[in-house]
Amino acid sequence: MTTSPLFYQAGPPMPEVSHGHGVFLWDTQGKEYLDGCSGAISCNLGHGREDIRDAMLAQLDRVAFTYRTQFENAPAVALAHALVEMTEGDLEKVFFVSSGSEAVESALKLARQYFVARGESQRRHFVSLRPSYHGSTLGALGVTGYQPLEAPFADITPSSIKVPGPDFYRHRDDDRDAHIRRVLDETRARIDDAGGDTVIAIVVEPVGGASTGGRLVDQAYLEGLRALCDEVGCLLIFDEVLCGVGRTGTWFAYQQWGVTPDLLTTAKGLGAGYYPVGALLAREAIVETVMASGGFQHGHTYAGNPLACATGLAAVEAIRREHLLDNVKVRGRQLQKGLETLRSRHPWIGDVRGLGLLWGVELVMDPVEKTPFPAASNLFARVTALAKEEGLLIYPRRSLNGLSGDHFLVSPPFTISESETELLLERLARALDRLDREVVAPLLA
């Protein structure tokens, strides 16, 4: 391993990747890893797929790049139609981008421009959850509720009112309904404090990922949010950058609760890790208002280029052709069962939650009080390192003061087979046994 000029984050030196096939990756030393988190929940079809490569090569042979304001391109139009079909027509308009953060930026800016066009420029606040993750650019960071990331930039990001979201693991209300009512009442009170007519939109991840480790909303909560938005006249934005495009077993997670947003963001899995492509979907009336006011004052150079969209289209077609949403559901149940078994073996596994092939595992020192392990124990990094030693990649997050313990995501490619799911669980079991012996037991002693 040589010293690299790259700087991403502090941590141990990383192995160098050699190649990948299916759910496996190999490093240059020949070690095999099962990709238990699809990279960053993005390589949804696994590695080394010839159909995606062929589609990309065919597009490269025609043209790789054209600019969105100079040419229409067939893959972009076809992918936009595919996305509209996936939402069953709930959302009719599509704006392409190259990442999740760009999708969220686009949603925030379209929402604001919509109200400016309607003569409601006093609307300048967003409402979002704590914890949440919506991206790393300044606008998306403004609506992100993840203190360590927000802190250095809090004074220079757009205004966002941070409210609690549902937490079916940690809540101390009498029951689930009471919990939802309390969370919605608090959201309502914070909006009333700011003035309902100053709010642009409420932004929510239907299934949390990078911040909450698979935390779910429920129907009553989404219905409550929808009603609140309609009442104060603001928009509802669902951020499905991570949980969209089939990850939870339906094209979009929100479809499992039947509550429709005004704007929807997606990215990560849309290009299946083969090329960056993301999208903002919007209701037609919103787009028409903005276009009538002179057009959307926004855009990125690589947005909707032919190669990106041909890749996305090939990925969506593969999910359809191979009925992968069914596999997501079946393998998801297998994974859930296996994770629950691991939980019964280790009392410090506090919670296993998720949907489809998106599962979060939260680790706590005291399963009754749900107290996180001390931050200095860096449990999230220890478990990830042990899993990697055992040949398994998982996606970790540190504990958040009082809001969640250390956790990790298990989110393998949609193509994972029954035996590969077993192998994933075996490798995870070995990593957790070692975590128990080497890290947890000494901490609890």
User: Strands of 17-21's sheet, edge to edge?
Assistant: 17-21, 24-27, 32-35, 392-393
Residue 209 sits in the site that holds ligand PMP (CB under 6 A)? yes
Tell me the residue number closest to ligand PMP, measured at CB: 100
* Cβ 429 to ligand PMP shortest distance, Å: 27
Place of tokens 């001390």: 374
* Cβ 98 to ligand PMP shortest distance, Å: 8
Note whether 45 and 251 are within 8 A (CB): no
Residue number, 79 or 129, with CB nearest to ligand PMP = 129
Where does this chain touch ligand PMP (CB under 6 A) — which range of 30-38, 48-56, 65-73, 134-142?
Answer: 134-142
Where does this chain touch ligand PMP (CB under 6 A) — which range of 19-27, 56-64, 205-213, 423-431?
Answer: 205-213
28 exposure class (CB count in 10 Å sphere: 0-12, 13-18, 19+): exposed
Closest CA to 338 of 14, 22, 29, 36: 36
Residues 310-339 contacting ligand PMP, CB under 6 A: none
Residues 341-400 contacting ligand PMP, CB under 6 A: none
* Cβ 210 to ligand PMP shortest distance, Å: 4
Contacts of 348 (CB under 8 A, 6+ apart): 363, 364, 365, 367, 373, 436, 440, 444
What's the token pair of residue 332?
Answer: 């998801």
Helix locations, 68-128, DSSP H: 74-86, 100-117
Residue 205 sits in the site that holds ligand PMP (CB under 6 A)? yes
Amino acid identity, position 204: V
Residue number, 129 or 392, with CB nearest to ligand PMP = 129
* Cβ 211 to ligand PMP shortest distance, Å: 8
Among 191, 242, 277, 310, binds ligand PMP (CB under 6 A): 242
Number of residues that bind ligand PMP (CB under 6 A): 15
Residue 407 sits in the site that holds ligand PMP (CB under 6 A)? no
Place of tokens 């642009």: 200
Residues 3-42 contacting ligand PMP, CB under 6 A: none
Instruction: Mark 135-164 with x for binding to ligand PMP (rule: CB under 6 A) and - for no binding.
Output: xx----------------------------
Residues 260-289 contacting ligand PMP, CB under 6 A: 267
Residue number, 22 or 164, with CB nearest to ligand PMP = 164
Helix locations, 293-417, DSSP H: 306-321, 324-345, 379-389
Residue number, 134 or 331, with CB nearest to ligand PMP = 134
296 exposure class (CB count in 10 Å sphere: 0-12, 13-18, 19+): middle
Among 239, 351, 362, 406, binds ligand PMP (CB under 6 A): 239
Amino acid identity, position 4: S
Distance CA 364, CA 379 (A): 10
DSSP string, 51-78: HHHHHHHHHHHH-S---TTT---HHHHH
Where does this chain touch ligand PMP (CB under 6 A) — which range of 26-34, 130-138, 152-160, 386-394?
Answer: 130-138
Give the torsion through C-alpha atoms of 110, 116, 119, 122, to 10 deg: 110
Distance CA 68, CA 267 (A): 18
* Cβ 62 to ligand PMP shortest distance, Å: 27
Note whether 33 and 388 are within 8 A (CB): yes
* Cβ 90 to ligand PMP shortest distance, Å: 19
* Cβ 110 to ligand PMP shortest distance, Å: 16
How does strand 199-204 pair with strand 395-397?
Answer: unpaired
Note whether 38 and 23 are within 8 A (CB): no
Residues 414-443 contacting ligand PMP, CB under 6 A: none
* Cβ 400 to ligand PMP shortest distance, Å: 15
Residue number, 276 or 338, with CB nearest to ligand PMP = 276
Residue number, 238 or 348, with CB nearest to ligand PMP = 238
* Cβ 192 to ligand PMP shortest distance, Å: 27
Total count of residues recorded for the chain: 445
**Secondary structure (3-state) at 427:** helix
Residues 74-113 contacting ligand PMP, CB under 6 A: 99-101, 104
* Cβ 42 to ligand PMP shortest distance, Å: 8
**Secondary structure (3-state) at 128:** strand
Report the alpha-carbon angle 8-14-16, nearest 5.
Answer: 110
Among 133, 146, 274, 275, binds ligand PMP (CB under 6 A): 133
Which residues are at the interface with ligand PMP (CB under 6 A)?
99-101, 104, 133-136, 205, 209-210, 239, 241-242, 267
